[in-house]
Amino acid sequence: MHRTALGQPRSGTPSPTDDELVLATLAGSAEAFRLLVERFQRPVLSVIVRMVSDRSLAEDLAQEVFVKAYYKLGLFDRQRKLSSWLFKIAHNTTVDYLRRSQLDTVPLEASTAEGNESWEVLPNRDEDGPEGRAEHAQLVRALSAALGRLPPHYREILLLRFQQGLAYHEIADVMGLAMGTVKVQLHRARKRLAAELDEAGFAPPGRWQENSSRQRNKTER
């Protein structure tokens, strides 16, 4: 199978922009769409997999996202960021699935065992040593578990903000919320995550514990 030269940069040449790939795909280039998929497959999957807590299901849904994106690419407003548009499709697809399946929040511990071996753990600093690495791994597990105990919409908003780096207005666009609502939801999600970690025993002593019960009460109201 031959691949065209599109998107195969020579050394020193920049890779094609999202806009260029979109235009090439609309012009009929399958290779351009392949590059788009390869460029965004990981971010899209990383959000979906933490929403549904099932690795193989997340891949299926991510496939569906890109298939839908291909058919709707002609409607894409190139003034927008392609990543936000893809996240929006991912959001709608995942929410539709969760509604259809009435999937309850599943702790991520239940699902990471089957997919964990293919997840890339970000490298720790060399100077941390074995204890540091163990500490790092423990915290990652605790953070993942706490994230998994949150409702799906809290998880999503935290991932979009803190893992994917979306701005408030982009999150608002993806999730179909007003910007003020995004800020409120984000605030509540952070508090809830902190409360989950507190309950898991990761809170520092002193001031946090005094404040956490106040915050938890506020969040739950």
Partner 1 sequence: MTPQDDRLQTVEPREVGMLLSVGPPEDRLRHWLAAEGADRGEEAETALASLFAMLPIPQPSAAFADRVLINLGLETRPAAYPWWSRAMIAVCLLLAGLTTAYAFPLIFSLAQFVAPGEVAGMVVQTFVGLASQTDELLAIWRVFARVVNTALLVATSPQVVVALLSLTVFSVFTLRGLNQLLSPSRSSEYVQAL
Q: Which of residues 161-200 bind partner 1 (CB under 8 A)?
A: 161-165, 167-168, 187, 190-191, 193-194, 197-198
Which residue, 150 or 158, has its beta carbon nearer to partner 1? 158
Query: Binding to partner 1 (CB under 8 A): which residues in 101-120?
Result: 115, 118-120
Query: Binding to partner 1 (CB under 8 A): which residues in 55-74?
Result: 55-56, 58-60, 62-64, 66-68, 70-71
Of 20, 23, 26, 46, the one binding partner 1 (CB under 8 A) is: 46
Q: Both tokens of residue 101?
A: 């399946």
Segment near partner 1 (CB under 8 A); pick from 149-157, 171-179, 209-217? 209-217
**How far apart are the C-alpha atoms of 82 and 165, rounded to whole Å?**
14
How is residue 8 annotated by DSSP? -
Of 26, 98, 153, 202, the one binding partner 1 (CB under 8 A) is: 202
Of 4, 78, 110, 140, the one binding partner 1 (CB under 8 A) is: 140
Which residue, 77 or 120, has its beta carbon nearer to partner 1? 120
Minimum CB distance to partner 1, residue 170 (Å) = 10
Could you tell me if 19 and 78 are in contact, meaning their C-beta atoms sit under 8 angstroms apart?
yes
Q: At what angle do helices 82-101 and 18-26 cross, to 10 degrees?
A: 70
Minimum CB distance to partner 1, residue 104 (Å) = 21
Q: Which amino acid is at 154?
A: Y
Q: Is 43 in the site for partner 1 (CB under 8 A)?
A: yes
Which sign does the torsion angle of CA 12, 13, 18, 19 carry?
Answer: positive
Could you tell me if 182 and 171 are in contact, meaning their C-beta atoms sit under 8 angstroms apart?
yes
Q: What are phi and psi of 137, to 5 degrees?
A: -65, -40
**How far apart are the C-alpha atoms of 156 and 95, rounded to whole Å?**
10
Which residue, 165 or 176, has its beta carbon nearer to partner 1? 165
Minimum CB distance to partner 1, residue 77 (Å) = 19
Could you tell me if 218 and 191 are in contact, meaning their C-beta atoms sit under 8 angstroms apart?
yes
Size of the site for partner 1 (CB under 8 A): 72
Could you tell me if 89 and 72 are in contact, meaning their C-beta atoms sit under 8 angstroms apart?
yes
Half-sphere exposure (Cβ direction) of 84: Cα atoms closer than 13 Å: 19
Minimum CB distance to partner 1, residue 43 (Å) = 4
Minimum CB distance to partner 1, residue 186 (Å) = 8
